[in-house]
Amino acid sequence: MPSKKLKNTLPNIKPFILLIVKKTLTIQGMKEPDKIGPELSKINKEIPFRVPDGYFENFSFRLTNKIHAESDVPNRQKFVLFLKPYLVAAVLLIVAILSGIYFFGHQQSKYSEKQFYSEVSRAVEQELYSINEEIILEVMSSETPDKLSDPDVNTEELIDYLLNEDVNEDELLNSL
Amino acid sequence: MTSNVADYTDKELTGLFRKPGSREYAFNLIVRKYQEKLYWHIRKLLIDHHDTDDTLQNTFIKVWTGLDNFREDSSLYTWLYRIATNEALSFLGSKKRRFFLPLADVEKQLSGSLKNDEYFNGDELQLKLQNALLTLPEKQRVVFNMKYFDEIKYEDMAEILDTSVGALKASFHHAVKKIEKYITEH
User: Is there a contact between A59 and B61 if contact means CB atoms under 8 Å apart?
Assistant: no
Residues B109 and B128 in one domain: no
- Tell whether B1 is covered by a domain: no
Q: What's the confidence (pLDDT) of residue B104?
A: 60
Give the contacts of A2 (CB within 8 A, at least 6 positions apart). A10
Distance CA A14, CA B5 (A): 56
- Largest Cα span, chain B: 59
B93/B38 same-domain check: yes
Top residue of B25, B115, B118, B169 to mutate, by most chain A CBs within 10 Å, is: B169
Domain count, chain B: 2
A5-64: pLDDT as tens digits: 667 776 777 776 666 666 665 666 566 666 777 888 888 888 899 999 999 999 999 999
For residues B112 and B127, state if they share a domain.
no
CA–CA gap between residue A84 and residue A78 (Å, rounded): 10
Which positions ≥6 away from B45 have C-beta within 8 Å? B85, B88, B89, B92, B138, B141, B142, B145
Asked if the structure places residue B14 within a domain, the reply is yes
Per residue in B112-165, pLDDT tens? Answer: 777 778 888 888 899 999 999 999 999 999 999 999 999 999 999 999 999 999
CA distance B20 to B148: 40
CA distance A136 to A133: 5
Domain CATH for B179: 1.10.10.10
Give pLDDT, residue B1. 47
Contact (CB, 8 A) for B116 and B163: no
Residues of chain A positioned with their CB less than 8 A from the CB of B56:
59
Nearest to B126 among A28, A43, A64 (CB): A43
| Same domain assignment for residues B43 and B89 | yes
Choose the closest CB to B125 out of A42, A52, A59: A42
The residue from B80, B99, B119 where one domain ends is B119
Domain end point (choices B119, B153, B176): B119
* Contact at CB, A29 and B173, closer than 8 angstroms: yes
The answer as to whether B2 is a domain residue is: no
Nearest residue on chain B to A44, alpha-carbon basis: B126
Asked if residue B183 is part of any domain, the answer here is yes
Same domain, B112 and B126: no
Residue A38 sits at the chain B interface (C-beta within 8 Å): yes
Given B47, B127, B169, which is nearest A29 (Cβ)?
Answer: B169
Domain limits for position B49: 7-119
Contact between A49 and B129 using a beta-carbon 8 Å cutoff: no
Instruction: Provide the shortest C-alpha distance from residue B100 to chain A (in Å).
Output: 28
Give the pLDDT confidence score for residue B100 in this predicted structure.
64
How far apart are the CA of B98 and the nearest CA of chain A, in angstroms?
23
- Give the tens place of pLDDT for each residue, A118-167: 776 777 667 666 666 676 666 666 655 554 455 555 667 766 766 666 66
Q: How many CB atoms lie within 10 A of CB B93?
A: 13
Nearest to A56 among B36, B176, B177 (CB): B36
What does the pLDDT average to over B22-42? 95
* C-alpha dihedral, A16 to A20 to A25 to A30, nearest 10°: 120
- Contact assignment for A34 to B39 by CB distance below 8 Å: no
Residues B17 and B55 in one domain: yes
> Do A49 and B120 lie within an 8 Å CB cutoff?
yes
Query: Residue A29 and residue B172: Cβ atoms within 8 Å?
Result: yes
Segment B36-57 mean pLDDT: 95
CB contact under 8 A, A70 and B61: yes
pTM recorded for the entire structure: 0.63
Residues B101 and B27 in one domain: yes
Among A31-35, A79-83, B76-80, the range with the most confident prediction by mean pLDDT is B76-80
Last residue of a domain, one of B119, B136, B161: B119
Please, which residues have CB within 8 angstroms of residue A145's CB and are 6 or more apart in sequence?
none
Do B41 and B106 share a domain, yes or no?
A: yes
> pLDDT per residue over B113-128, tens digit each?
777 788 888 888 999 9
Mean pLDDT of A99-103: 77
Between A and B, how many residue pairs show a Cβ–Cβ distance under 8 A? 111
Answer yes or no: do B134 and B182 share one domain. yes
Q: Residue A84 and residue B141: Cα distance in Å, rounded?
A: 49
Q: What is the pLDDT of residue A151?
A: 54
In a domain, B77, yes or no: yes
For residue B61, what is the domain's CATH number?
A: 1.10.1740.10
- A80 vs chain B: nearest CA distance in angstroms? 23
Residue B77 has pLDDT above 70, yes or no: yes
CA distance B112 to B41: 21
Q: Is residue B35 part of a domain?
A: yes
Query: Are B151 and B113 within one domain?
Result: no
Q: Are residues B142 and B99 in the same domain?
A: no
Q: Is residue B178 part of a domain?
A: yes
Residues B174 and B163 occupy one common structural domain: yes
Return the residue of A nearest to B37 by Cα: A56
